[in-house]
Amino acid sequence: MNSREFIDIPVRVKYADTDKFGVVYYGNYAIFFEKARTEYLRQKGFTYKELEEMGYHLPVVEFHIKYFKPARYDDLLIVRTSVDEVKSRAVVFKYEVLKEEEKIAEGKTYHICVNTENKTVALPSFFISFLKNNL
């Protein structure tokens, strides 16, 4: 990644994460990204739960990933996470998945902000500031 603020989150591959060939099933990377994104916010000082309690939610509306090498059962992966872009109603997170310091995948998740009625709304100003401080 570039000079952006990032957090490294360890993820140990469980047997249940793999397919019949012993490779991490591609859909499980979405779960790895979610774990990393949640921990990223927590380590930066703001939890997703707090945002929900205020009536805001950040559903994923796009998910992109590129795979370079497979991960297998019991591998210790590092999911490097950063805020990539902040808009008035959306935020983009960027990820790199590392195995023994080698990048094996990279991706992004795009989130819009919705209220408890599932209507698109602007991100709260304090959250925009929080996110921009981590760019």
Specify the 3-state DSSP secondary structure of 19: coil
The partner residues of 123 in beta bridges, in order of sequence, read none
Inter-residue contact 126 to 113 (CB < 8 Å):
no
Exposure letters 54-90 (e unless 16+ CB within 10 A, then b): eebbbeeeeeebeeeebbeeebebbbbbbbbebeeeb
Query: Phi-psi region for residue 27, left (φ > 0), alpha (ψ -120 to 50) or beta?
Result: alpha
| Single-letter amino acid code for the residue at 97 | V
- Within its chain, how far is the Cα of 124 from the centroid? 20
Catalytic residues: 19
